[in-house]
Amino acid sequence: MTELPLSPDAGTDAETDGWNALYLAGKWTDQGDRDSISVENPYTREELTTVPAGTPDDVDQAYEAAAAAQEQWADQPPQGRAQVVTAALEFVRDNREAVLELLALEAGSARVKGVAEIQTATGMMQQAASFPFRMDGQQTESIVPGKENTVERVPVGVVGVISPWNFPLHLSMRAVAPAIAAGNGVVLKPASNTPITGGLLLARIFEEAGAPEGLISVVPGSGSEIGDEIAGHDIPRVVAFTGSTPVGLSVAEQAAGNCALPALELGGNNVHVVTDRADVEQAADAGAFGSFLHQGQICISANRHLVHEEVYDEYVDQLAERAASLPTGDPTDEETIIGPIIDESQRDQIIEYIEDTVAEGATLEAGGDHDGLVVEPTVLADADNDMPAACNEHFGPVAPVIPYSSTEEAIELANDTIHGLSGSVHSQDLAQARRIADGIETGMIHINDQPVNDEPHVPFGGMKQSGLGRYNGESILEEVTTTKWISVQREPREYPF
């Protein structure tokens, strides 16, 4: 087996084999009689290690420990909480190359993607380190004579986090770091494909940073086994989920059953609109990046390219040329841009979408084949909105290119989806671009860029069935805190009876 970096030193708490442990109630806990989850390299299919599969009893223990630890943690002065998050940030920065290696081995992350992921994760951590000093209260006037009103911002208590496999470090950290900084406890369930980079690595990071024992637990396991227990437990007050829309709707239902707030970032079917006034070369550069970064396995990637008929052929040619030129293969090779799809089931679904779209009349301009789990960057011309690769979130390196003839048609096509997460518009006429951007029903849209953008201080989230709530900056601080009204009647009050 490959020796994985940054594995925990379990000491006397557990006899682990590398990462083969849970982080439960502040202790590394060995497998015992639990089932195993095989952690495989998606490029070589080598088994890297196994990790224990958490049980419902583990989830109970984790939530109870987080609730107990959170009470004292919330009483810490702001500089104490900020110090832990800052130390966690420094640990990631100091171990950047080891984290990149883990992302390549476990998540199939080419270096360009791994670097971007660490950048977004540390950016969010840097924001979170300031949150203890940003939980401002306010005093307000009262309609009652002699009364003083104070509104405080306080932690919700415990936050449950269910994270995906595509950007495992960042999409876990963007919920975990703000929750801890704001004074909450956390129970994290990472995806089964990436239990280390999406979960156990965060346990190691915050343990090294000095987080109190029990404040954070990481319980790997399949959604079918412990997902409902994580989402539907009566202790968490917020359940943060990133993943598919169907699963997210179930998580929301489970959380709401206990009056917990579901914070959801769900699927996307994002458009990259290229107008008749676009710089086609720049639009093609952006389109290639937006569709092919991390093999298209990004909720905000460009899922559909809507291109004006006047520049359509030129754009298809340029996009296909870029697709064909991208280096594919081993993500540990620094030259690689396109690495593996995460597993066989995802690859097979992508290939099926490509084949069915060609069967319905699309033209294969580039790619379309695969070598193991490496799917070639694929460009499909003559597509329409109803073809499988366009109407579904294909989550692969696939670019269906759909022609349109007017601004109104572009907006109509863009909105013809249940999703509304991200998007982009290219035009040298900014007024034209803004008209289209304003007309598209989406939580985020980028002019003369592509849909894959994430800045730690800017609200991140979608409309329609792409989610509820927002991550980043003040938005995530509001999600993991609540307000408390405290009034003081400083003069005797007269009552009507």
Distance CA 77, CA 9 (A): 30
pLDDT in tens, 116-133: 999 999 999 999 999 999
Q: Give the pLDDT confidence score for residue 11 in this predicted structure.
A: 43
- Pick the catalytic residue from 299, 365, 391, 479: 299
pLDDT band of residue 17 (cuts 50, 70, 90) is low
pLDDT band of residue 194 (cuts 50, 70, 90) is very high
Question: Alpha carbon of 256 to those of 196, 253, 263, 271: distances in Å?
Answer: 29, 5, 11, 31
The answer to whether the pTM exceeds 0.85 is yes
Closest CA to 304 of 325, 273, 281: 273
Q: Give the pLDDT confidence score for residue 1 in this predicted structure.
A: 65
What percent of the chain is modeled with pLDDT above 90?
Answer: 97
pLDDT in tens, 276-297: 999 999 999 999 999 999 999 9
Q: Give the pLDDT confidence score for residue 277 in this predicted structure.
A: 98
For residues 362-367, average pLDDT: 98
| Residue length of the chain | 497
Q: Specify whether 391 is catalytic.
A: no
Q: Give the pLDDT confidence score for residue 84 in this predicted structure.
A: 98
- Summary mean pLDDT of the chain: 96
- Pick the catalytic residue from 117, 265, 376, 479: 265
Q: Give the pLDDT confidence score for residue 301 in this predicted structure.
A: 98
Distance CA 287, CA 270 (A): 11
Closest CA to 336 of 95, 102, 43, 47: 43
Per the CB < 8 A criterion, the answer to whether 353 and 395 are in contact is: no
Per the CB < 8 A criterion, the answer to whether 424 and 290 are in contact is: yes
Predicted confidence (pLDDT) at residue 251 exceeds the cutoff of 80: yes
Q: Give the pLDDT confidence score for residue 18 in this predicted structure.
A: 81
Q: Give the pLDDT confidence score for residue 9 in this predicted structure.
A: 67
Q: What's the half-sphere exposure (Cβ side, CA atoms, 13 Å) at 181?
A: 31
Predicted confidence (pLDDT) at residue 204 exceeds the cutoff of 50: yes
Q: Specify whether 299 is catalytic.
A: yes
pLDDT in tens, 31-77: 999 999 999 999 999 999 999 999 999 999 999 999 999 999 999 99
